Structures are given as structure tokens and as C-alpha cells.
Amino acid sequence: MSFRENPFKLGVASGEPSPTGFLLWTRLAPDPLNGGGMPPVNIEVDWQVAVDEQMTKVVARGTEVAIPDLAHAVHAEVFGLQPDRWYFYRFRAGNEISPVGRTRTAPANEHLLDGLRFAFASCQHYETGYYTAFEHMAREDLDVIVHLGDYIYEGAGREGDGRVRKHTGQEIETLEDYRNRHALYRTDKDLQAAHQACPWIVTWDDHEVDNNYAARISQDADVDVDSFLTRRAHAYQAYYEHMPLRLGAKPRGADMQLYRRVPFGRLLEFQVLDTRQYRSDQPCGDKTGPECEAVFDPQTTILGDEQEQWLYKTLRESPATWNAIAQQVMVARVDRTPGEAREFSMDKWSSYRAALDRFTGFLDEAKPSNPVVLTGDIHTNWACDLMLDFDDSNSKVVGTEYIGTSITSSGDGAPREDHAAELQSENPCVRFFNGERGYVSCEVTPDRWLSKYQVVEYVSRPGAPLVTRAQFVTENGQPGVQEA
Ligand code: FE
Ligand code: CA
């Protein structure tokens, strides 16, 4: 195969580190925004893993077949490496060689690391800003990057809406649409640099399919279940094709199992959740408003029964000091409106009250080691105590939640200190609120978890410097947020 144009325009990525390997990703796409531009034939792609960036000391190699049915995406599972080591990798197709990526293995299961550094991010609407936050993230010396969803957004590009970049095409529905949208996002150099810098652990939220969808139900009342599931199958397939996920994640029709554990020895284990695919429909409509009766329905679920039982079992059996529960929507129950009136977002855990109470009740009774929930979705920064009763300021704290803002979604942000004071005066669980763009960097040691809120003051043009707006810690054995 000879290429007239570079087939590696979407860059390279890695993910899912284990003690002996990881997953390597690329996709052959010389014409990324128009279906990829590949002929409809199978193509062999070689990969190499080396201990040096110059790729002279190669320690593993293999060949995968990139097939048209998976948009010529490559998912190479690598085994047999040393635990807790950095490696470099690249691909070759025909005479074309990809950029070199950097990745690492996890420590051995019984090993207690001195420290782990990772960042978590979410919500990167392409049209509302530049990925300056990823440019900075790629330069931090991180072991891993965790993405909590809204990796793409599904809407049409519209002229005259004042947004700084444009989606190509209409609202995405077909497999080809979803592929082109992922490709558009992935042509961004800052996003590519962050993927190239270290392994990623990803999960999705709603916009990878459709705003505020719940399991088989579209946000639009006029869409029947069958047509929505067809769309969901397209979205899930394109997501799998573009993410550094293991082969076992490959969807079957409209189903794809994304929830999983990713352990880093005895220091930390990620439990990665999917709060979209199995949840009951939002009670009282997809809005922020007063709680209607449906909020208290004991049957409601946000994880689905199977995933919920899996989570509890996994947390009970986890050998890790820190259990980082990486998921989408806020767990802490926050009244969003000032004064007497009480209003809650119907898309979050708080409006699936039975599911929230089961979760906080589980944390209280089973006492898994240091549960720290990591959350995206809301386009603002928060740090919250997870309480048994969010209405009672003296209630027991049973866990910690760090909520990261968006990379770009909602456009340029602002600190919004007045709103922070208002939220904190009504909600004892809220320890910090901030409305800027950015991500959260975490430094975790056996004794202490440090969360740094990294912000950029603008995204409407490139080049914003990185500012650490706030830092909080959680001490081993003491759930909740403390001043650093
Ligand atoms: Fe979002
Ligand atoms: Ca209120």
C-alpha cells in the first residue's frame, strides 16, 4: 500500500495500562473529515514498542489488520512488558511512519507506588474554544489522563452563532457522521499532544450520542426507541473506533460495556462508570427544577442493577488505598437556586434519590478504602463532601467528590465568586466552586490526595497561560475535602 497523503493525521494514542502492557491506537485516515479517504480493503499496520524515544531498543512488535468495517482503526493490545515503566511506540503502514507516542505500564498488583500523578478532564466542545488546556496538560508530567465524557458534541455547525470554530455537517446520526465528527476533534494538535504524552482512561457522557439521553430514550420525545437505538449503535461504534479501548470493549449493536476497573497496584484503583447506558429516564423532565414524586421512586437507577452490584463488589474487594470512581454526573446533592426555593438538576445522581442513597449508604456500611468520586459534565469546578444526608450540615461525611470543569464547553469562563458564596451558604457539602475552563491535576501518595484546579482564563483565542486557581487535599482515612 502506498499513500498519496499521510494516513496518520489523527495522531496516536494509548490507554488501559496494566502491569504488563497497554492498548495502542491509531486510525488510518488520509482524508479524515470525509470518511477517512481509505480504499475499502484491509491494510496491515505494524507497531513497535521501545524503551527509548528514538525507537532504537525495540522490546515488542506486532502487526494488526486495519479493516474498512472499523474505519481502518487500529487497536493493538500489548503484553509481556515490565511493570511500572515508561515506553515509546509508533506505527507503520506502507512506507508511512506515525509520530512516536509515550506510554507506561501500571505497577505490579502487590506494589505500593510512592505517588501517582494524573489529570481528569471532560466536555471539549470544539466550537466554543481552543484546547489550550490540553496543550498545558500535555506538558505536565502525568502518568495518566482520565476523560470523563463529552469528548465530542453532536450538534450541527451553524454560521453566525459567534462560536470560534465550526462543526462540519449536520447534527450527527449515521455512522459516517459520527466518524467524521470524532475525526474533526482528533485533528486538533493540542488534543493529539495530550494523547501522545501518556496513556488515557476514557468513559463517555451523553454528547457522544445525544444530549441528556437515558439508556434507550432520546431527549426528543418524538424519537422512538428503535430509531434511537440505531443511532446509539452508530455512536458507540464510532466511539470505540476512536478511543484507546481494549478489544473487549467493542460494541455489539447498541450495547457496549465501558464500566471496568483499572488498578495501579496497591496505591490507587480507578473504577470507571457508565451512568448513561443503563439509567432510568430523568424524573420530572430534563431540567433543573423542584423535585417531583418520581425523584423518590425506589426503582430508579443511574447505573443499572448489574453495574451497581459490580461497583459494590469491586469496591469491597479493592486492594487499593485510594478508590477513584471515575464517572460523569454530580453525586453531591446541590440545591441550585438561591433562597427558600429548592431546585435540583434532574440529570444528576440527586434526582435518582434511591440510587444516591444506596450509594452513600454503601460507603457508610462497607467502608471501602478512601472513595474519591471524579466527575465531569457540569462545566464548572467543585469540591464536595459526600454526606449521608446532604440536608444536614452535621451529617457524616462518607466520601469525597472532585468535580472538574470543561476543557472548552460554555466558552470563556469566570471565577464567579459571588455564586460560589451563594451555593456554599445553602449547601454544606460544597467546599469550592469556580466557573473557569480547565481541568484537575491530582497527585496521590499513600498518605494524601492533592487536587489542583488548573484553569485557563480564556479559550476564545489560543495561548492562555495556566493558572492553579485552588488546591484541596483529602487525607488517607479521613473522607472529605480540606484546604491544602
Ligand atoms: Fe458537557
Ligand atoms: Ca434554595
**CATH number of the domain within which 74 lies:** 2.60.40.380
Q: Tell me: pLDDT of 46 over 90.
A: yes
Q: Among 106, 128, 160, where does a domain finish? A: 106
Domain span holding position 43: 1-106
Min mean pLDDT across 21-30, 53-62, 151-160, 215-224 is at 215-224
- The ligand that comes nearest to the alpha carbon of residue 148 is 1
Same domain, 410 and 430: yes
What pLDDT score does 158 carry? Answer: 92
Average pLDDT of the residues of the chain:
97
Q: Among 106, 129, 160, where does a domain finish? A: 106
- The ligand that comes nearest to the alpha carbon of residue 122 is 1
Between the CA of 38 and the centroid of ligand 1 the distance, in Å, is 32
Same domain, 74 and 146: no
| Per-residue model confidence as pLDDT tens digits over 311-341 | 999 999 999 999 999 999 999 999 999 889 9
Residue where the block lists cell 479501548: 245
Q: Tell me: pLDDT of 148 over 80.
A: yes
Q: Tell me: pLDDT of 221 over 80.
A: no
Of 115, 109, 148, 146, which Cα lies nearest the Cα of 263? 109
Q: Which pTM does this prediction carry?
A: 0.98
What CA–CA distance (Å, rounded) separates 175 from 178? 5
Between the CA of 290 and the centroid of ligand 2 the distance, in Å, is 10
Between the CA of 211 and the centroid of ligand 1 the distance, in Å, is 9
Between the CA of 123 and the centroid of ligand 1 the distance, in Å, is 4
Residue where the block lists cell 417531583: 292
Burial class (CB in 10 A: 0-12, 13-18, 19+), 408: buried
If you write DSSP's letter for every residue of 78-135 in order, what string do you get? E-S--TT-EEEEEEEETTEEPPPEEEEPPPPTT---S-EEEEEE----STT---HHHH
Between the CA of 206 and the centroid of ligand 1 the distance, in Å, is 8
What CA–CA distance (Å, rounded) separates 435 from 437? 7
Same domain, 313 and 173: yes
- Higher pLDDT: 357 or 221? It is 357
Between the CA of 229 and the centroid of ligand 2 the distance, in Å, is 38
Same domain, 85 and 176: no
Between the CA of 406 and the centroid of ligand 1 the distance, in Å, is 7
Residue where the block lists cell 501517582: 116
Q: Is the dihedral of CA 226, 227, 230, 231 positive or negative?
A: negative
- The ligand that comes nearest to the alpha carbon of residue 408 is 1
Same domain, 160 and 97: no
Q: Among 106, 130, 147, where does a domain finish? A: 106
Amino acid at 27: R
Same domain, 23 and 131: no
What pLDDT score does 482 carry? Answer: 98
The confidence band for 222, taking pLDDT boundaries of 50, 70 and 90, is: confident
Same domain, 97 and 113: no
Grid cell listed for 373: 468520586
State how many domains the chain has.
Answer: 2
What pLDDT score does 439 carry? Answer: 99
Q: Tell me: pLDDT of 177 over 90.
A: yes
